[in-house]
Structures are given as C-alpha cells and as structure tokens.
Structure 1
Amino acid sequence: MMHRVFCSRWVLSGLSVTAGICIGATLTATGDRLNRTRGGLLDRIPVIPVPSVDAAAEISPYQPGQVAVSRSTAVMKYGFPSLSSIKSRESYVTSYDPRNRSAAWVIEQLNAETVTGTSDRKFCDFKEDDSVHVYHRSSKADYKGSGFDRGHLAAAANHKWSQKAMDDTFYLSNVSPQNPHLNQNAWNNLEKYCRSLTKHYQNVFVCTGPLYLPRQEPDGKMYVKYQVLGKNHVAVPTHFFKVVILEKPRGDVELRSYVMPNMPVDEKIPLERFLVPIESIERASGLLFVPNIMKRTSSLKAITAG
C-alpha cells in the first residue's frame, strides 16, 4: 500500500470573518523540528530509500532487510503516528480528525439524480464508525443529554438516490455537535439551497466542515476555546463552513463559500449574509480549495457578500 505524507507550514494573522456576527481571529502555527538521534544508532536500522518528504511525497511501507540510503529515512522503521485519514463512503469522501472525534471535511457531488429517489431516513440510525480506532471515535452516548444535535456534515437528504448512500451519512464520523436551533433552521436552509442548485447547474460539489476559531478574552489575548462532549471528548465547533463549487455544462465554475456560527441563528436572515471570501475559510481551516479548482478550469467566478 502506498501512503501520502502531507507537510504544511502556515501563518494566519488578523483574520476577520463576518457571518451574521463579527468574528476576529488570529491563528499562528509553525512546523516542529525533529531532534536528531544519537550517532551510530540510525546506521544499524534497515529502511527503504525514500524521496525527500515534500507535499504529496509517496512513501512505501518499510520492508525488513532493506538497507538505509540516508539517516533521515530511518525514522520510519516503525511507521508514522498518523497519516492523512481519508475515508470513502458510498457517495461522499471524508478526512477524519481523530483528535476532535469528527471529520475535518466531507465532500459530496450532487446533481439532479442524487437528490431524488425513494430513500427514507426513518430506516437509518446513527452508528459508531468501526473503521476509526476506538480511542478516536465518538459514540451515541457522547451526545446523550448534551443539548447538541448530531449534525450531519454530508446531509442525509443529499443522497436520496440510494438507501445505502443515505445510511452511510449516519456514521458518527460524519457528524459534529451542532446547536439544535442552527441545525434545524438556518443550516437546514443552507442544505436545502445547495440541493436546489442542482436544478440550475450540472454538478454541485459541496465541502462541509467544522471550524474552531479564536476569540479575544477579557485579558486581551486570543484563545481557541471550545466545549467537549462525553467520555470521548467530542469537540464542539465554534463555526461551520460550507464551500459550494458549481459546474456549468460548458465548463465554467462558480464558487460560493459560507460560514455560520454554531449558535442560534435567525432563519429569516438571508443566506447571502453568511457568504465569506474563500480565503478566510482556507486560512482558518488549513485547507485549500482555489488551487485545486484552478487546476481543473480556466474560468472561476467567486461569489461573496457585497
């Protein structure tokens, strides 16, 4: 099996996201340095030759008996503590964040066929994701009595074309703690709106995920602060984002990006009020959307709040 290693270093300063309320955010992150092991030990550990560890560098599993070609590759004899956790379901793909017991992002492809059908959520039930290590998964007990909804990231109603596809959206790895008022009102309206776009566009790609934004405390300093639920400490996001990529038949692409706070939001507020520049989501989440889109199309129109 081939593995990918994704290395990143980013700095964000002074991010301001307006999503019904004004949010000031300042994040900084830097890469860690690896300490050298005492001389001579690494020379005796057999490893495979590996290219320099760049973004998307391919790493092959260690094979006993192979000879090291450089000291730096010896550290992978026993593997890495983690690699990018990408999981594929019937009709969506997700990147799981084991630290927060939730997905970092979930992406779906919607069209007129996927959002219609006879599938019914009454046949579905929330369930633990057995593909996630027991240390890192959430359970139904974590949500019981918490006051939070089990908010879908890939919405169940987006996958009416297949009962199996809809059932897959009920894995708790596709769920984040969501304020009930938000989940059942304004956020639900945004999900409905995304489905309605399939009437006007050939394909609608929807990427959804949680955000954990800092805020200024009384001491004047910025802190990332969020609640955790249950014995598994499921992280409660401060906000949610939804990035919508719209494909027209002739190949033109439109991009719309939204952020909503994880709190009661008046459902009468127009969805346009939650439009934000895509750069604000990229900076806050550590994800990138625009470079990937630009690789696939020569025409990109971004829509943000005026």
Structure 2
Amino acid sequence: MQRLFCSRWIISGVSLAVGTGIGVALSGASDRFHGENNLLRKIPVIPIPSVNAASELLPYPQAQLTPSKSTAAVKYGFPSLSHIRSRESHVTCYDARNRTPAWVIEQLNAGTLSGTSDRKLCDFKEDDSVHVYHRATNSDYRGSGFDRGHLAAAANHKWSQKAMDDTFYLSNVAPQNPHLNQNAWNNLEKYCRSLTKHYENVYVCSGPLYLPRQELDGKMYVKYQVIGKNHVAVPTHFFKVVILEKKHGEVELRPYVMPNAPVDEKIPLERFLVPIESIERASGLLFVPNILKRTNNLQAISAKA
C-alpha cells in the first residue's frame, strides 16, 4: 500500500472542518521536544485512509498449533499469552514487562457519555487479575512526579458507575507528564467525545510508545525512565488512534501521537496527526486489520489556512 504526500505544509493557526480526514507526518518519531517551542515545525500534509467496512471485511488469520514436537515443548504451559482483559468500559492488552497497558480500546457514542456516574466515587486500584510480579501499585506513582494517566478516560463512561470505576484499574494507566495529562491530552479526549455528535460510533485505541532518539555518539537508543519498586515504565510518547464509523459503513482513521512532556495546549490538535503506519511500526500493532486499506480509498483533503 502506498501513501501519497501532498505538497502543502501545515502552519500555525490552521483551521480544519469537523469530520475531515487530514493527517500530518510527525517530524521524526524520535524528536527530542526540548521545551514547548520546539514542537512548532513545518510538516507535510498526508491523506488519512477512509475505507468501507461493509464491503471490505477480510478474515483475520489465526495462529494454529499443529501436532508436532512443539506441542511437547509446552507440556507445562506457555510462559505468556496475550494479556487481554475485558472490562465494563474497555478492553485492554496488558504489558506485563512494563506494568502498563500495551493498548486500550473503547467505544464512544451518545449513550456512553451520559449518566449519573460520579468520578469522586472512584479510586485508583491495583488490578488483582495481574500476577503480583507484574502489577503496578499506587505506591509506584507516589512522589514520582507523574500522573496516573488514564488510557480509557473516565469521562467517556458516565453511563455506568462500574464502567467508570473500571477505568481506575492501574492496568488502564501509564505514567504521564502532569502538564500533558491535564492539558493537551485532556483536550484530545474532549475532542474524541465531541466527535460522537457527527459519527455513529467513535472507537478509540490508546497506548504508550517507547521511541528511539539519537544520542551524542550518533547511534539510536530507546531509553525511558522507570518509577517505583515495580519499575513501571514511563513512555516517551502516547498514541491515540480514533476510528470513526459513519452511518453508511465507511470508516475513517485519525491517528495521533503526543510526546510525554509538557505540550503547549494552544497548538492545534491537528499538528499531532501522523500516518497510521508510523504508529503501527513503532508499536508493533495493526489497526483495523480486518479491513482492507486500499490506495484508491485514500482521500487527499487540502488544509485551508
């Protein structure tokens, strides 16, 4: 599959209509983001894929274990399988090594955003379905300087007190810079909620990234901090892939990446749109894998200053 780059450039102050599929290539996945002002750089506009889910569903191949010597090798069990957990409000894949989610996916619509659930009744809690060796605790975050950043946002699930409570499991949380969590990331969450007014369903997949950066010796390294006695990994960046479902079956993707650092909330959210492939390559994940993303479905939409 090919991606075509447009010749136009995003500049500060871009105005975009709600519902358009516009993306921008992040200027290097390993940008250092030294200070807030380093975020404003010219980056090329690229199209976001729009596909028809009704006509282009493809079977997703499943791994099969055929009888052989390999079956004998796992006589005493598999060291690990996918750590998938289904909650009232979201589904998460837990990264036992990093003590954070690998990804969290949730469905938003008008129904999930309304209700009488009260955040004040919720408390962050350990996920006792995670083995104690791999579990994050509240004490890991205490005094660390990082927020317990929700991946599935509590405000997305007012429809049920249990649904909101479930977002407070630490298996739905990653260490997040307070300035990012309370400002730009919060704005992105609000924007996702606003999209429910224009789309049938809004599916949001969020997760951490650990991106490489070039050091003084000219080589690329993946380096990140860990916090607490359980060594909870601090992501270098976060992604949010928004899957917009239209009434007639079309699906539109809007992939965002933000650095886990202070971000000027005056920067338009469109500045953080990236090609979906950049997140897939960096995360090892594939989004909407059962939908064929064809080149002829790409819609190049011009940005208007």
Q: Shared topology, TM-score over 0.5?
A: yes
The structural deviation recorded for 1:71 is 2.2
How much has 1:24 moved relative to structure 2?
A: 3.5
Counterpart of 1:263 in structure 2 is 261
Give the Cα separation in 1 of the matches to 2:85 and 2:180.
27
Structure 1 residues 237 and 227, CA, compared in 2 at 3 Å: closer, same or farther? same
| Amino acid across the alignment from 2:168 | F
Kindly tell me: are residues 59 and 157 of structure 1, through their superposed partners in 2, closer, same or farther at Cα, counting changes over 3 Å? farther
Q: Structure 1: 5+ residue runs without aligned partners?
A: 1-16, 26-54, 61-68
5 Å-filtered alignment, 1:1-306, equals 19=26, 22-24=28-30, 56-58=62-64, 70-294=68-292
Aligned residues: 252
Distance change >3 Å, CA 160–CA 259, structure 1 → 2: same
Partners of 1:165 and 1:211 in 2: how far apart?
26
* Aligned-residue offset at 1:59: 5.3
Tell me if the contact between 1:212 and 1:226 (Cα under 8 Å) persists in the aligned partners: yes
CA distance 1:79–1:303, shift in 2 (3 Å): farther
Distance, in Å, in 2 between the alignment partners of 1:198 and 1:229 is 36
Matched to 1:263, the amino acid is A
Instruction: Classify the secondary structure of the residue corresponding to 2:267.
Output: coil
Question: CA 1:248/1:158 → structure 2, altered by over 3 Å: closer, same or farther?
Answer: same
Pair 1:180–1:90, CA change in 2 (3 A): same
Higher relative contact order (CA 8 A, sep 6+): 2
Q: Deviations over 1:194-214 (max 9, x none)?
A: 000000000000000000001
Identify the residue that residue 50 of structure 1 maps to in structure 2. none
CA deviations 1:46-76 (Å, max 9, x no partner) are xxxxxxxxx632459xxxxxxxx53232101
**Residue 298 of structure 1: CA displacement?**
12
Q: Distance in 2 between matches of 1:178 and 1:98?
A: 18
Paired residue secondary structure (1:126): coil
Residues 262 and 160 (structure 1), Cα distance of their counterparts in 2 relative to 1, 3 Å cut: same
The 2-side partners of 1:77 and 1:269 are apart by 54
Letter in 1 for 2:181: N
Contact 1:92–1:108 (8 Å) recurs in 2: yes
**In the aligned structure 2, how far is the partner of 1:76 from the partner of 1:298?**
42
Distance 1:284 1:112 in 2: 32
AA aligned to 1:120 is D
Alignment partners' CA distance in 2, 1:57 and 1:235? 30
Q: Percent identity at matched positions?
A: 78
- Secondary structure of 1:294's counterpart equals coil
Report the 3-state secondary structure (helix = DSSP H, G, I; strand = E; otherwise coil) of the residue aligned with 1:79: coil
Supply the AA of the counterpart residue of 2:137. S
Distance 2:109 2:295 in 1: 22
Given the two structures, how large is their TM-score scaled by the length of structure 2? 0.77
**What is the distance in 1 between the residues matched to 2:70 and 2:284?**
27
**Cα distance in 2 for residues equivalent to 1:99 and 1:85:** 11
Distance 1:272 1:101, change over 3 A: same
Q: Deviations over 1:66-99 (max 9, x none)?
A: xxx5323210101110011100000210000000
Runs of 4+ in 1 over 6 A off after TM superposition: 302-306
Between Structure 1 and Structure 2, whose CA radius of gyration is higher?
1
Q: In 2 relative to 1, CA 230–130 (structure 1 residues): closer, same or farther, beyond 3 Å?
A: same
- Secondary structure of the 1:24 match is coil
Distance, in Å, in 2 between the alignment partners of 1:288 and 1:305 is 27
TM (norm. structure 1) is 0.77
